[in-house]
A and B are shown apart, each in its own frame.
Chain A
Amino acid sequence: MSEPSVLLDRAHLEQVLCHLAEEVLAQPWACDPDDLPLLVGIREGGVVVAEELARILSLSLGKKPTVGALDITFYRDDTWLKGPRMTGGHTDLPADLTGQRLLLVDDVLFTGRTVRAALNALVDFGRPRAVLLAALIDRGGRELPIQADVVGLRVDVPAGHTLEVMCDDKGQLRAVLQVPNA
């Protein structure tokens, strides 16, 4: 069994985040300062990515997009496999998302099951005008027909490995580790 290795350090992460921001800005739906999409980070990692992304986008847009947080614990399809989880944090979204354009943000896109759960959770907040998906890292291996609209980095991760996104206590991304599963 191999040891954990560093896939991305902070400097590399900054490049990936900037690339993700460029991809977002290249989309026609992202650039109207009067109609910016609401960034919805999926707890926990997606919220950190969404905050960092909003910071970089604000440099180009002159205005920081609003960031919300979505907890998907009660919408997961593996609850029965992993037991009752205590959630990491509250969902923090406007009460009604009807008519809003949303950019759903996650750290690592893998099987697509997290995004499936997030889409189910979002419709319980109304009927958004559109939901688009941003992933910091797309590692392939989808088990559901879900693809990201914008991606920071595409990588191949060997089977039996997990990508762990590390943050510091200031809510900044620090590194992405490739860790062999126990």
Chain B
Amino acid sequence: MNQPPTLQLRHLLGLETLDAQQITALLDLAGQMKAVNQRRIKKLPTLRGVTVLTFFVENSTRTKMSFELAAKRLSADVMGFAASTSSLSKGETLLDTARNLEAMAPDIVVIRHSSSGAPHFLAERIGCGIVNAGDGAHEHPTQGLLDIFTMREKLGTLQGKKVAIIGDLAHSRVARSNLHGLHKLGADVHVAGPATMIPPGIEELMCTAHTRVEPAIEGADVVMMLRIQRERQGNDLIPHAHEYHRFFGLDQQRLKLAKPGALVMHPGPMNRGVEIAPEVADGAQSVILQQVENGVAVRMAVLYAVAVTRGLEEKP
């Protein structure tokens, strides 16, 4: 019998640096993990003795819980660390905090940080596997993977499928990870949003940009709505939330432009009535909650691949 190929993954910093084969391998692995999550006993013994530290220097509920659940389902030990309760709020630098965490000898640090590149900074300086759980406006690779996993699960393949990503492309790390991953798997990606939210040069990420939403959605297999980040710069980039909804929000009328049965996606948390109408968010074409479910399986796949790759290197 042929041995199945192995996947080497020392860190997961972004989808930009993965190739199509690695992404596909992670998605296949996530499929196996999803099957485990549908059993009555949702647990594997694989990562016994592995310590996973979640280091979230920016608020998150869904992603942090999803990573912690993923680690527990693989029998890893998991510790959480939140910025508001840590010494970072007492003025300690990121590197000093990270070195202290490293002294506790975790195998993997899952980091979310408001600065782009923070995971890369740590990956070069501390000796454990780093998994990026969102860095500034740069990447959110596990969200990108779970979005692509959900699309592949529903559509069979990404090759030649039209995916529309609507909203604040300039500040969305979710969009950036999706753009990298979708392009590598052969999807035809269209983006649309107000001019203030479409950065110049976005076509370099191999997508077609529109300033109106209709041509992006027309004939699409997937419509992914991004969140207007109202707590950040979101409110300054658009005149009014109601106006945004009128011109860029996804309602049932606009959804009719897409292919019949097109998938409606949103990375959450949603602003109902701003980027997405409630009846669309809760409608039959919405896979938003399945994205959340798939997130656990995708993160199990990532933690497994990183932990085992590193365990192999440490072998005497």
Contacts and interface: CB of A to CB of B under 8 A. Distances in A.
Interface string B10-48: 000000000000000100110110011001110111100
Given A80-B308, A85-B4, A124 B29 contact: no
Contacts of B45: 74-75, 120
Interface band, chain B = 20 to 34
Given A74-B46, A90-B35, A84 B7 contact: yes
A142 to B, nearest CB: 20
A86 B6 contact: yes
A82 B7 CA distance: 11
A95 B29 contact: no
Contacts of A125: 39-41
Given A84-B304, A91-B35, A44 B312 contact: no
Given A84-B308, A86-B28, A96 B40 contact: yes
Contact of B6 (A71, A80, A85, A88): A85
B97 interface: no
A88 B25 CA distance: 12
Contacts of A75: 44-46
Contacts, number: 73
Given A85-B3, A95-B40, A96-B40, A80 B35 contact: no
A5 interface: no
Contacts of A151: none
A84 B315 contact: no
B19 to A, nearest CB: 15
Nearest to A91: B35
A80 B315 contact: yes
B309 interface: yes
Nearest to B301: A84
Nearest to B311: A80
B5 interface: yes
Given A74-B45, A82-B6, A90-B32, A126 B40 contact: yes
Nearest to B3: A85
Contact of A95 (B3, B7, B39, B304): B39
A165 B1 contact: yes
Contacts of A87: 4, 29, 32
Contacts of B5: 86
Interface in B71-108: none
A125 B3 CA distance: 26
Contacts of A44: 1
B43 to A, nearest CB: 7
B214 to A, nearest CB: 41
B35 A83 contact: no
A81 interface: yes
A124 B40 CA distance: 8
A80 B1 CA distance: 21
B309 A83 contact: yes
A58 interface: no
Contacts of A86: 4-7, 25, 28-29
A84 B6 contact: yes
B302 to A, nearest CB: 11
Given A90-B35, A164-B1, A83 B6 contact: yes
A96 B45 CA distance: 19
A45 B312 CA distance: 26
A71 B32 contact: yes
A80 B312 CA distance: 6
A79 B41 CA distance: 21
Interface of B: 1, 3-9, 25, 28-29, 31-32, 35-36, 39-41, 43-46, 304-305, 308-309, 311-312, 315
8 contacts: A79-B308, A80-B315, A83-B312, A87-B4, A90-B31, A91-B35, A125-B41, A165-B1
In order of increasing CB-CB distance, the 6 nearest A-B pairs are A84-B308, A83-B6, A124-B41, A86-B4, A74-B44, A74-B46
Interface of A: 44-45, 71, 73-75, 79-88, 90-91, 95-96, 120, 124-126, 164-165
Given A74-B44, A86-B28, 6 more contacts: A44-B1, A83-B6, A87-B4, A91-B35, A96-B40, A126-B41
